[in-house]
Amino acid sequence: MLKKKNDQNPAENQTTAEIVKKAKKSSDFKEIKKQVSGVQISILYFSTLIEHKTMERVFLPYINECEKQKNHSFDINHFKNNLPLEDVISTQDAKEIEDKIHQGYVLISFENNSEEFLLVNVSNLSEGIRKTNETENEFSVTGPKIGFVESLDTNILLLRSKLKSPLLTTEEFVLGTLSKTRVTIVYLDGITNEKHIETVKKRISEIDFDIIWDSSAIDQIIRDNSNTPFPLYVSSERLDRISYTLSIGQVVIFCDGSPHAISGPSTILDFFIASEDYYYNWVIGSFFRLIRIFGIIFSIFSSSIYVAVVTFHFEVIPADLLGPLIKSRANVPFPPLLEVLFLEMTIDLLREAGARLPTKVGQTLGIVGGIVIGQAAVAAALTSNILLIIVALSALASFTTPTMSMSNTIRLLRFPFIILSSLLGGLGIMIGFAALLCHLFKLKSFDTPYMVPLYPFRRNNFKDSFIRSPFSQINKRPDFLKAKDTIKYTQNEKIQKKEDINDE
């Protein structure tokens, strides 16, 4: 939800004593009382949020050592400056105290000073975070397998280890009135366009939401159009892909607790680009990219073309194919529309069931279930065998997209075209296609046209769109990003000579 930021917090109208009283209702909130130089101090913390080794080996031994020094007068500043921990805060702000103790800080209150408090960071919020960082959903045969995890600090570490540049800049926000989720935007200072940075910062700062559970929630809240099925920002768990988007001048958003980062401004062609395209020779990479784009077109239109041809346009069917088609549909009691919808829904049910079940069971269900149900449907004359092949190939083609968000969009788009083709035939498909283009031309990603370089037309950006040109020709950043520094690397004879040798 985007609206005027509501900064009100119940802690603003509470005293620290009321906050502590409320926290003591939880069974994991602990209190320890100690005497330090004749002054009683209270140590309060959530035992589930702290690092117990730091507490037992560093913090408490220092307190016990101070407890023995009874001849010295107590000084809060001296106590604070000599604590052998890095993050120690002196505060009187009740709101800050409430926020910090829920982040793993220890609260220290003093008997002789009811207004001054110390907050000491002994947090252990990385407990339970996944340690392995292999890319599970964006697998590639060639190239690195390093991906992000659910820890924000770990993800920034991985990014800085990949991009060892002083230009890499991070800015952190805290979102969620209940979750207090850390969100970080990352960009290359001096390269990324200031307008895009300010747009992202403005939209994130305006978020007023209770729980930010994943980066996908931020994606939905800040997007330019919430009524479109198309993803407007690239979401990826791959370190190499996010590093590439940063290098060309995009802004990246990380969310604590999410292994996916989102980057923008993005165009529709970004969702058909795979990291592997840059690990192969440019000819092979371009071929795979074209196959991917053709597969998406086939996935959207194949079933609807079948319905249109069988229902309205028999004359376009070759004579040699007309006999087998009539024979396969001779005993099917349903019209082509219901026949296609039945098979499409069956494929989607198998896909959803396979995704929700454990890996081994899901794979077995997808393979065995598809074969058994397909053969049984043809044998029972519920569908024709030709349509079964078309729908199966259409389902396979939808998986060629490197990003799952675009794959889900492709699955959805098939159904409106199927219905339109059953009503108006080929004319319905053309009307649907025209409406789809109009919708795409209106979309924007961080106020940048979604259909670049097709609309507005950008001739220079075609070098890395439908095909992946040699590295000697894609040394400039895309024009639509309006980067401050448009040159990625110097085009020289060594690169050209190396590519010519590889091509031979």
d(CA 331, CA 38): 96
Cβ pair 113, 90 in contact under 8 A: no
Helix (H, G, I), strand (E, B) or coil at 56: helix
Does residue 28 fall inside a structural domain? Answer: yes
Please check the confidence at residue 344 and state whether its pLDDT lies above 60.
yes
Question: In terms of domains, do 420 and 328 share one?
Answer: yes
Amino acid (one-letter) located at 151: S
Residue 167 pLDDT grade (very low, low, confident, very high; cuts 50, 70, 90) = very high
Question: In terms of domains, do 292 and 385 share one?
Answer: yes
Question: In terms of domains, do 282 and 365 share one?
Answer: yes
d(CA 479, CA 477): 6
Does residue 304 fall inside a structural domain? Answer: yes
pLDDT given at position 8: 46
What is residue 248's DSSP assignment? Answer: T
d(CA 328, CA 313): 17
For 87-110, how does the pLDDT look when each residue is reduced to its tens digit (9 = 90+)? 888 888 888 888 888 888 899 888
Helix (H, G, I), strand (E, B) or coil at 217: helix
User: Once rounded to an integer, what is the mean pLDDT over residues 145-158?
Assistant: 88
Question: In terms of domains, do 163 and 198 share one?
Answer: yes
Question: In terms of domains, do 258 and 286 share one?
Answer: no
Question: In terms of domains, do 378 and 400 share one?
Answer: yes
Q: Of 121, 142, 167, which residue is a domain's last?
A: 121
This prediction's pTM: 0.83
Tokens standing for residue 245:
């988007």
Residue 489 pLDDT grade (very low, low, confident, very high; cuts 50, 70, 90) = confident
Short-list 480, 412, 478, CA closest to 445: 480
Count: domains in the chain? 4
pLDDT given at position 365: 66
Question: In terms of domains, do 354 and 437 share one?
Answer: yes
d(CA 477, CA 487): 6
Backbone torsion region of residue 180, taken as left when φ is above 0, otherwise alpha when ψ lies between -120 and 50, otherwise beta: left
Question: In terms of domains, do 301 and 377 share one?
Answer: yes
Question: In terms of domains, do 346 and 431 share one?
Answer: yes
Question: Is the Cα torsion angle 467, 470, 473, 475 positive or negative in sign?
Answer: positive
Question: In terms of domains, do 54 and 160 share one?
Answer: no
Does residue 442 fall inside a structural domain? Answer: yes
Question: In terms of domains, do 180 and 104 share one?
Answer: no
Determine which helix (DSSP H) or strand (DSSP E) holds 159, and give its type and residue range: helix 152-162
Q: Of 238, 266, 294, which residue is a domain's last?
A: 266
Question: In terms of domains, do 315 and 175 share one?
Answer: no
Does residue 137 fall inside a structural domain? Answer: no
Rg over CA atoms, the chain: 30
Does residue 461 fall inside a structural domain? Answer: no
pLDDT given at position 4: 46
Does residue 324 fall inside a structural domain? Answer: yes
Does residue 141 fall inside a structural domain? Answer: no
Does residue 142 fall inside a structural domain? Answer: no
> For residue 23, how many other CB atoms are within 10 A of its CB?
19
When the pLDDT of each residue in the chain is averaged and rounded to a whole number, the result is: 85
Q: Domain residues for 260? A: 152-266
Helix (H, G, I), strand (E, B) or coil at 333: coil
